[in-house]
Amino acid sequence: MRTALFPLSFRWLAALTGILALVCAVVSWWLIPTWANPELRVVLPFLREQLILPAVVLGVAAAILFNPHNKSCASFGPATSLSAWQRCRPALVTLWVSAVVGPLLGWSYPLIRGAMAGFRLVDLVPLLALLAALLALASLAALFANLLPRIWTVVLTPVLCALVIVAPVALDNLLLSDSGFSVFSLAFMRGFRLISFPTDAVLSVEVLRLLYFLLLAVCATIATTHANMFSLTARRPSLLRAAAFLVPPVAVFAASAAVSPVLVGPYTGPTTCDVAGNHKVCLPSAQAHMLPGLTAHVATFVEQLPPGWVPDDETVAFSPGNSTYFSLPDPSDVASQQEWEEIYFASLAQGALPLHDPTNDACLSNSFTGDVANALLLRSGVPVAPVHALNETTGESITIVPRADDSPALAFLTGLSNEEFHGWLTANREALATCTLSEEAFE
């Protein structure tokens, strides 16, 4: 290793590895919620979306390592009599090792925790693809550092490293949106995780990503040696050869847009189920700890509705495709199980109201519809989401948790027995559907 790194020292390697580990640890600790016990298949997409900061760090490091004012520089230091590969090798090895070891150390907690929650051999493929993407970023950083004007290298190299990550997301969202084409299959990141608790990676796509990023790393490395020669001699053929070696990965990337493979599939792993009245509640086995509270709340919620009001025998579960009435929301962006259930039951209460057109003026202006939805939540004893409102006196934003005494209508509905409430819902079903409830209905 010392021979491969000469004329650089291990201090460069240790420093860059430590910085990358720290950056990745802070970002992953901050952004990945662990309360839902995510498996490795769920953790990896989180990490894929956190590549921008490591790319910026690698860009700055590459600019410094190839800076002509650095006495250990690979371009203009004491090794200028060597071949281009021998000159570039120390900086490249430093970047490669740091790009892999640093993030692995920084991500060790979510990776180990995710593997303990649920590990499959197939999960190694997207993990290897992620590491290959880091290798490719390190090689691209070296290439940019050799191509850019020396006065702007430290500024522009990290900018370009971030740009190669962000540009495909912008391309897909701005130019390819609704076109039937997509470059997300081979993009460094997608701007959203896509793979979550209800879904799973497609093995063929992950294998393709692994091979593509390895191809990109190899081509960028060869292009770097020619760009390094160009930085020494300013000869145009060296620059052209560097550009030529970027053609294969660019062509493969462009071809992926034409193919646009399916990126995710449904989760088909082990599940754990419980029974809530006429309904089954099922979650991936790694999230089985969420079942007892959820099942109890689903049971009490359904008890508030008349028989036949909602479909019987449907399963309460994550839905990888079209959502159904009982589809659970993805907990990936939620801070706790209570908040997750608040979101779910608020949606469930709105869905339980047989509204013909929830967006018409009558429904938007009729406060009694909201009272009925809140009555369902309060009667069920499920977690109720707070409502954000504006204090008319002070103009300040306030947070209110609905209570039974918030309005006469809500007090009336929460005071009924189950049988009386069932009868009231049945008698006022048409008025609910058309949003024409009036005060007389609550007397």
- Radius of gyration, alpha carbons of the chain: 29
Q: What angle do CA 45, 47, 50 make, to 5 degrees?
A: 115
Determine contact, residues 243/223, Cβ cutoff 8 Å.
yes
Cis peptide before 7 (omega within 30 of 0): yes
Model confidence, pTM: 0.85
Q: Where are the alpha helices (DSSP H) in 2-82?
A: 2-5, 10-31, 40-48, 52-65
Q: Which of 278, 139, 285, 281 is nearest to 217 (CA)?
A: 139
CA-to-CA distance for 63 and 70, rounded, in angstroms?
Answer: 10
Determine contact, residues 443/411, Cβ cutoff 8 Å.
no
- What is the amino acid identity at position 15? A
* DSSP label of 77: S
- In degrees rounded to 5, what are phi and psi of residue 20? -65, -40
What are 195's two structure tokens? Answer: 């793979």
Contacts of 252 by beta carbon, 8 Å cutoff, 6+ apart: 186, 212, 215
> Angle at which helices 203-233 and 247-259 pack, to 10 degrees?
150
Start-to-end C-alpha separation, the chain:
84
Contacts of 176 by beta carbon, 8 Å cutoff, 6+ apart: 182, 183, 257
Bridge partner list, 317: 327
pLDDT by residue, tens only, the chain of 443 residues: 556 555 567 888 999 999 999 999 999 888 788 889 999 999 999 999 999 999 999 999 999 988 755 545 544 444 456 677 778 888 899 999 999 999 999 999 999 999 999 899 999 999 999 999 999 999 999 999 988 887 788 889 999 999 999 998 888 888 777 777 888 889 999 877 666 788 888 999 999 999 999 999 999 999 998 888 776 666 777 778 888 999 999 999 999 988 888 888 888 888 999 998 888 999 999 999 999 999 999 999 999 988 888 887 888 998 866 667 788 988 887 889 999 999 999 888 888 887 766 666 666 666 788 888 888 999 998 988 887 766 666 667 777 777 877 788 888 888 889 899 899 988 888 888 887 888 887 77
Q: Which of 313, 318, 323 is nearest to 269 (CA)?
A: 318
CA-to-CA distance for 216 and 398, rounded, in angstroms?
Answer: 52
